[in-house]
Chains A and B, each alone.
Chain A
Amino acid sequence: MIMPEKTKPDYVIETKNIKKCYGDGCKVTALNDINIHVERGSFVSIMGPSGSGKTTLLDVLGCLLKPTSGDVYLDGKKVIGLDDNELAVIRKEKIGFVFQQYNLIQSYTAIENVELPLRIKGKSKWEAEDKAKRLLETVGLGDRLNHKPSQLSGGEQQRVAIARALANDPKIILGDEPTGNLDTKTGQKILNLLKELNQKEGYTLVVVTHDPRVAEYSDKIINLLDGEVLNETYPNDSRELEAKRGRK
């Protein structure tokens, strides 16, 4: 039997010396020597000024972008060297995305949007509908199932997007400025929902953000600058987190 390559079991994400550059002879470096890890069940923010490589890093972690060199382990599985199809399968099985622009399909209703990952997974219409309904109820949109995105507020659209991200029971939820398009109050609600998913349901969250409030909610903040990790901080360096680390 071939043993799967294992990293430390409580790291759901681990990167080793990731480098991503573009152009002939690697003229433009987007990411340089990134070594980070994300503990299972934690809430991690990636921060940094524009152009610091936050989104590129998120794309790499989300298996949307192949790094130029380095290793990435997701849920204990090495994802470097996989082809497009294999990466798609990883995304399908392990990752849920939440975007700043929500990225819902405008001509589909809320429930159809949430069904989509399940249909891609090969579930029947009936099965997908059932689960999508439950998820929309979970995010507080049980009464908006058949509304189209244009009939929903920004906050509601982002809730649909979160329900969609949850549909495939992901190991990791990746957020690209999930509150970036929302007013303060609505942003707060979305943040509360994400935090709830993290704390109550145990989802691992990695969020790229400019929003200091998001950072406040995080267990760890990875600060990037010019494609490199500047530092990592622990805003809620609480006893709980200490205790978690202590258990290792």
Chain B
Amino acid sequence: MWDLALKNIMRNRIRTILTTLGILIGIGAVVALGSIAEGLNATIQSSLELTAGKITVQQAGAGIFGMGSELTNDDVELLKSVSGVKDVVPIVVFLGPMQGFSGPEYVVVGIDPDKMNYFAGENFKLYQGRNIDEGESGVASVGKAAADKFNIQIGDSWTVKNEDFEVVGILDTTGISDIDSSILVPLQDLQAALNRDTYYSIYAIPDDVKDTEKVVVAINDASDNLQALSSAELARQASQIVDQIRFFTFGIGAIAAFVGGLGVMNTMIMAVMERRKEIGVMKAIGATNSMILKQILMESAMISLIGGTGGILIGVGAAIGLGALSGGSIQGYVTPTLALEGLAFALFLGVIGGLYPARQAAKLDPVEALRYE
């Protein structure tokens, strides 16, 4: 009977198209906003890979990524003394100029050259050139993405606050965006360039990864000024934020979609009123109440599924468009789950919107409906 449903909804084309548009915009909003939340999640998850197996130490009360922490050498010494800590990696970060939504243009990370493996991973490889030697000064390693972005060659120099750094190596792609798009320089050099003797954050490396949580507790007990977070804890906090964003974006989209659902209900109520007599005829020639119910639900489901499918396409388009507008930092990420959720939500709206008119239609008394003028 789907062919009849299509025929029926196409009777009043303009009304059906407008109703479909309502659903389309609503589901489009759900998908587009949802895709941004998914994209954000993917970005954050990739950043968090950086902290795997490490304990991130910030000043107590600092934000999730340690913004604004001022950690000192005393803190470094204190951390070294905590039992279960194998090594301590202080870092300094300098952010390039901000580019609207896309965040900083580049990131310069100051780190001890011999501790690079903690930052770039045990198995980081060079794409070109060599590693920075211990104690070396005025040199830089560049992530592959940053090298590509700024067309950096070995031997080029990179300037941070009037200090020049000669690029001696380009790192192979790690897949962790914070490394691939970073410029790595010796710690003391960056401190000097920035004229600061404090650290942005400190990674504490546990003797045994299994004891990470114990070491976190030990660090937090050892100092009131320091706040240690395991990567699991960071992940948990990040996913909380992502969940809040998801909830918020879904909420906005859902309101739009809900209005679309009201449109479906309105359209179907009108259609049932207009087709009273016809429903009477259908009953007279043998249609049961449940058949009439199904027929009307099919029609509202069809409107909402067409709208939902269109909405997913529009949502994908919007996600891609936003990604392009933001220069790639906001990646709209339309996962199959998100698309399915969008479609399921559309269907839900259609069925809910159609239920009341469908029940009214099913309940119509055939004798009255037949002679309705």
Contacts and interface: CB of A to CB of B under 8 A. Distances in A.
B7 A108 contact: yes
Interface residues on A, range: 20 to 34
B289 interface: yes
B357 to A, nearest CB: 18
Contact of A117 (B7, B278, B285, B367): B285
Given A103-B281, A107-B7, A108-B7, A88 B367 contact: no
A89 B367 CA distance: 16
B287 interface: yes
A116 B277 CA distance: 15
B160 interface: no
Contact of A105 (B281, B289, B290, B291): B281
A96 B285 CA distance: 7
A64 B285 CA distance: 10
Contacts of B193: none
A164 B367 contact: no
B284 A120 contact: no
Contacts of A97: 281, 284-285
B60 interface: no
Contact of A91 (B3, B7, B286): B286
Contacts of B11: 107
B251 to A, nearest CB: 40
Contacts of A93: 286
A116 B3 CA distance: 12
A189 interface: no
A22 to B, nearest CB: 12
B interface: dominant SS: helix
A64 B366 contact: yes
B252 interface: no
B286 A117 contact: yes
Given A64-B367, A64-B370, A103-B277, A125 B282 contact: no
Interface in B27-85: none
B282 A62 contact: no
Interface string A149-173: 0000000000000001100100000
B367 A120 contact: no
Contacts of B4: 119
A64 B3 contact: no
Interface in A97-155: 97, 99, 103, 105, 107-108, 112, 116-117, 119-121, 125
A231 interface: no
B1 interface: yes
B77 to A, nearest CB: 83
Contacts of A88: 283, 286-289, 291
Nearest to A94: B286
Contacts of B7: 107-108, 112
B278 A105 contact: yes
Contact of A84 (B281, B282, B288, B367): B288
Contact of B284 (A62, A108, A119): A62
Nearest to A96: B285
Given A103-B370, A107-B7, A91 B284 contact: yes
A92 B286 contact: yes
A120 B289 contact: no
B288 A89 contact: yes
Contacts of B283: 64, 88, 91
Contact of B286 (A107, A120, A125): A120
Interface string A65-99: 10000000000000000001100110111001101
A165 B278 CA distance: 15
A65 B367 CA distance: 7
A187 to B, nearest CB: 21
A164 B1 CA distance: 18
Contacts of B284: 62, 64, 91, 97, 103
Interface in A18-53: none
A164 B286 CA distance: 12
A59 interface: yes
- Most central of B4, B8, B286, B291 by chain A CB within 10 Å: B286
B285 A91 contact: yes
Given A65-B367, A107-B11, A85 B288 contact: yes
* 5 closest residue pairs by CB, A with B: A92-B286, A88-B288, A117-B285, A91-B286, A107-B11
Interface of B: 1, 3-4, 7-8, 11, 277-278, 280-291, 366-367, 370
7 contacts: A59-B367, A84-B289, A85-B289, A88-B286, A91-B283, A99-B281, A103-B278
